[in-house]
Amino acid sequence: MGEAVNRSAEPSELPRIKDMKIGSVPEVLRAGLRDFMRAPAFGIFFSGFYVFGGIVLWAVFSSRGEEWWLFPFILGFPLLAPFAAIGLYEVSRRLEAGEPLMWREVIACCMAQKDRQLPSMAMVILLMFMFWVFVAHTTFALFMGTQALTNISNSFETLLMPNGFVMLAVGSAIGGLFAVVLFSFTVVGLPLLLDREVDFISAIITSVQAVLANPASMLIWAATIAGLLFLGMVPLFLGLFVVLPLLGHASWHMYRALTE
C-alpha cells in the first residue's frame, strides 16, 4: 500500500489475477455502499461534476429542441463514468488502509495523477467516447436519412418507424460493444494505475486478463454497472449522486477481489 501513498517512481510488480466467485458481486456492492456511507461527502463531491454536466447537456439540447441527441451521450456514459471513480478509489484505499480522510490529501492524490500514467488511459477513454458519438451520428444518418434530422426535432414518432427501431437496435449493439471493450480495459486497469507504478499498456493487458479469467463474474458486474448507471440517469441525472459513489467504491473492492 505504500506505493499508492509515496508515488514512487520505481516500477511496481504487476498483480496476479485471481479466480473470482460469481457470488462475490453482491459482496463488492455491499463494500462499496459501506464506504459511501462512511464518507458520503466525497462521493457527492466527485459525482457532482457528472450530474452537473448531464444537466447542462440536457438544458442545451432542450433549448434547441434536440433532446434526441442526448441518446448517444446517455448510451456512451459508461465509457466516461470511470473518470468519476479515481477520487473514490483513493477514498476506499484510505479507508481500507486505516489512513485519515483529509480533503487536501485526497484532492492532491487526484491532481498528482497528471504526472503518472492516468492521462494516457484518459486519452484512450476519451478517444473511444468521441468515436462512439461519431458512430452514433453516422448510424442515425444511415438509417433515418437527412430528412429525419428535421422531423425528429418536433416529434419522437420518427423513432417509432421501422427504420427507427432498427437504428436504435444497431446503435445500442455498437454502443454495447464499445462499452464492453472499455470495461475490459478499465475494470482493473484504472485502480491498478492508482495503486501501483505501472504503465497504462500493462494495466490494460492485466485488466483484459482479469476479464478473460472471470467471464461470468465480469459479465454480471458489467450488466450491474450499466443497469445502475441508466437508472441513475433517469431522474434528470440526479440518481448519479448515489449510483456513481456506490459503483466507484465498489469498483475498488472489485479490483481487490480480482488481484493479489
Residue 7 belongs to some domain of the structure:
no
Range of the domain at 223: 17-258
Distance CA 191, CA 52 (A): 24
Distance CA 74, CA 76 (A): 5
Residue 199 belongs to some domain of the structure:
yes
User: How sure is the predictor about 89, in pLDDT bands with cuts at 50, 70 and 90?
Assistant: very high
pLDDT of residue 69: 64
pLDDT of residue 58: 78
Residue 107 belongs to some domain of the structure:
yes
Cell of 24: 462475490
Pick from 255, 249, 260: nearest CA to 43: 249
Phi, psi of 206 (to 5 degrees): -60, -40
Distance CA 71, CA 212 (A): 30
Q: Mean pLDDT, the chain, as a whole number?
A: 82
The whole-number average pLDDT for the span 229-251 is 87
**pLDDT at 173 > cutoff 90:** no
Tell me if 217 sits within 8 A of 21, measured CB to CB.
yes
Q: Which residues of 98-123 are buried (b: 16+ CB within 10 A; e: fewer)?
A: eeeeeeeebeebbeebeebbbeebbe
Residue 214 belongs to some domain of the structure:
yes
Distance CA 186, CA 221 (A): 13
Of residues 230 and 61, more confidence is placed in 230
- The percent of residues in the chain predicted with pLDDT above 70, rounded, is 80
pLDDT in tens, 109-162: 888 888 888 888 888 888 887 887 788 778 777 776 655 444 444 455 566 666
User: How sure is the predictor about 1, in pLDDT bands with cuts at 50, 70 and 90?
Assistant: very low
Count of the separate structural domains present in the chain: 1
The whole-number average pLDDT for the span 73-83 is 64
The whole-number average pLDDT for the span 162-167 is 72
Residue 1 belongs to some domain of the structure:
no
Largest CA distance in the chain: 60
